[in-house]
Amino acid sequence: MLFHSTNGKIRGVTFPEAIENGLAEDGGLFMPAGMPSLPSAFFKNIQEMSLQEIGYVVCNTLLGDILSSQAIKSIVDDALDFPVPLRKAESSEGLYILELFHGPTLSFKDAGARFMARLLPALFPGGESRTIILATSGDSGGALADSFKDSPSTRVVVLFPRGELSRQQTAMFCNRPNLTAIEVGGTFDDCQMLVKQALADKELDKALSLTSGNSINLARQFPSIIYYFHAYARAREMSPDSDKVVISVPCGNLGNLAAALMAKKMGLPVKRFIGANNANDTFVEYLQTGGLRPRRALMTLARAMDVGNPSNLARIIDLYDGDLASLRKDVEGIAFSDREIVQTIRDVYQAEGYLLGPQSATAYRALQGRLAPDEVGVAMATGHPAKFPQAVMEAIGHTVPPPPQLDGLNLLSQPAVKIPPAKSALARVLLS
């Protein structure tokens, strides 16, 4: 499989090159020249397959020409070694919640980060030192820090927006010896822009061997594809009478939704998808108008979705060849206010004692009242509620005991380096 840039100037790139560069030289994101298909027979008894078995088949289809089956199996088994259960919502008919937050740092980003940490040494066995740079709206920083904690030759540089992360989030990446945490006086989009500028800088790349740790890197974005086959399998397993599965995805930088649509192009027989936005509704607006109007992100309670200029929209447009009508057939976009998010968390908690995180609440709410009687809805629950205490507090009036993954983290956090949103300032920190 070969890759091209979404900006169209660069073609014929191999997978290792795409991973090593992270971002194409023309500023675009790498995309496969076409998505490979899975045979329809695969879906006949997919409900009997485990997450790891599904992951192996999907990754072999994507990467079988680059890595041995054995290497793929061990990367998948090791990266996805935590449960990803589907839970039936008791208070909403036909609605299920796929809990993607049982990994070591409690968000769906663990899968991609863990996959990347195991893929890099398989693709580049030399073990040379490299720097992974990423912008985080909260969860990527912790996921990358944890995934690379045993890779001393890899330095991880995390840029995060000032004042927007919970203590639970920053604590997860401020404690690692091979990690540099940088607090940027700006938004997530400013952080993302700085990362892209650093990746495009030939001298920085030469000095530091830079690659991206965000979903702009396919090493992190591809593994999310597995989750959609798994979501479908578990929905069929728990609800064998309906084959009309609708999946709802909370969207920020759109890496996760891009993975959903890639899965669909690979043959996943999901009926349709819903992309849920918070007040940062660049994607919903794009679906409505076809116009792309990046804007300054607003700060909301579903902070992991506070992205005004989502990078992976370029991948979605590329996947559909710019054909908005056919994209609209596959995805509906719906945006929710903080008030609606809080109300949803509260309602579900009161009805069945189940606590949704604020991001998951958008996906959940997008399915309520929008399913036909013969449809089954799966809300992608991307983050553990304990990481978002402010939203939980506003919804139910108290926080909840943190799971063991968060134990002791608050005591350990070290302060981050502070910079303004300027590349020169970032370069100084990187080279120091």
Ligand X SMILES: *Cc1c(COP(=O)(O)O)cnc(C)c1O
Binding region for ligand X (CB under 6 A) = 107, 109, 139, 215, 250-257, 304-305, 359, 382-383
Helix (H, G, I), strand (E, B) or coil at 277: strand
Cα end-to-end distance, the chain, whole Å: 38
What's the closest the beta carbon of residue 109 comes to ligand X, in angstroms?
A: 5
d(CA 426, CA 195): 9
What's the closest the beta carbon of residue 138 comes to ligand X, in angstroms?
A: 6
**Toward ligand X, which CB reaches closer, 21 or 256?**
256
Per DSSP bridges, beta strands 95-99 and 86-88 are antiparallel
What's the closest the beta carbon of residue 249 comes to ligand X, in angstroms?
A: 7
**Toward ligand X, which CB reaches closer, 391 or 427?**
391
Amino acid of residue 272 = R
User: Which residue lies nearest ligand X, judged by its C-beta?
Assistant: 383
**Toward ligand X, which CB reaches closer, 174 or 251?**
251
**Toward ligand X, which CB reaches closer, 10 or 219?**
219
d(CA 295, CA 306): 11
Residue 257, CB-side half-sphere exposure with 13 Å CA sphere: 30
d(CA 347, CA 355): 10
Phi-psi domain of 8 (left: phi exceeds 0; alpha: psi -120 through 50; beta: other): left
What's the closest the beta carbon of residue 325 comes to ligand X, in angstroms?
A: 23
What's the closest the beta carbon of residue 248 comes to ligand X, in angstroms?
A: 12
Return contacts of 230-233, CB within 8 angstroms, 24+ apart: 230/51, 230/54, 230/55, 230/84, 230/98, 231/86, 231/98, 231/378, 231/380, 232/43, 232/46, 232/268, 232/269, 232/270, 233/46, 233/47, 233/49, 233/54
**Toward ligand X, which CB reaches closer, 211 or 277?**
277
What's the closest the beta carbon of residue 251 comes to ligand X, in angstroms?
A: 4
**Toward ligand X, which CB reaches closer, 58 or 305?**
305
DSSP 8-state assignment for residue 13: B
**Toward ligand X, which CB reaches closer, 239 or 277?**
277
d(CA 160, CA 141): 8
What's the closest the beta carbon of residue 348 comes to ligand X, in angstroms?
A: 17
Query: What does the DSSP assignment read for 34-63?
Result: SPPPPPTHHHHTGGGS-HHHHHHHHHHHHH
**H/E stretch holding 417:** strand 417-419
What's the closest the beta carbon of residue 382 comes to ligand X, in angstroms?
A: 3
What's the closest the beta carbon of residue 381 comes to ligand X, in angstroms?
A: 8
**Toward ligand X, which CB reaches closer, 58 or 391?**
391
What's the closest the beta carbon of residue 356 comes to ligand X, in angstroms?
A: 11
**Toward ligand X, which CB reaches closer, 18 or 305?**
305
Which is nearest to 217 in space by CA: 323, 109, 298, 308?
Answer: 109
Residues of the chain by 3-state class (helix, strand, coil), percent to 5:
45, 15, 40
Nearby residues of 89 by Cβ (< 8 Å), 6 or more positions away: 95, 96, 97, 348, 352, 354, 364, 379
**Toward ligand X, which CB reaches closer, 72 or 251?**
251
What's the closest the beta carbon of residue 310 comes to ligand X, in angstroms?
A: 7
**Toward ligand X, which CB reaches closer, 255 or 377?**
255
Nearby residues of 157 by Cβ (< 8 Å), 6 or more positions away: 131, 132, 133, 134, 179, 180, 182, 429, 430
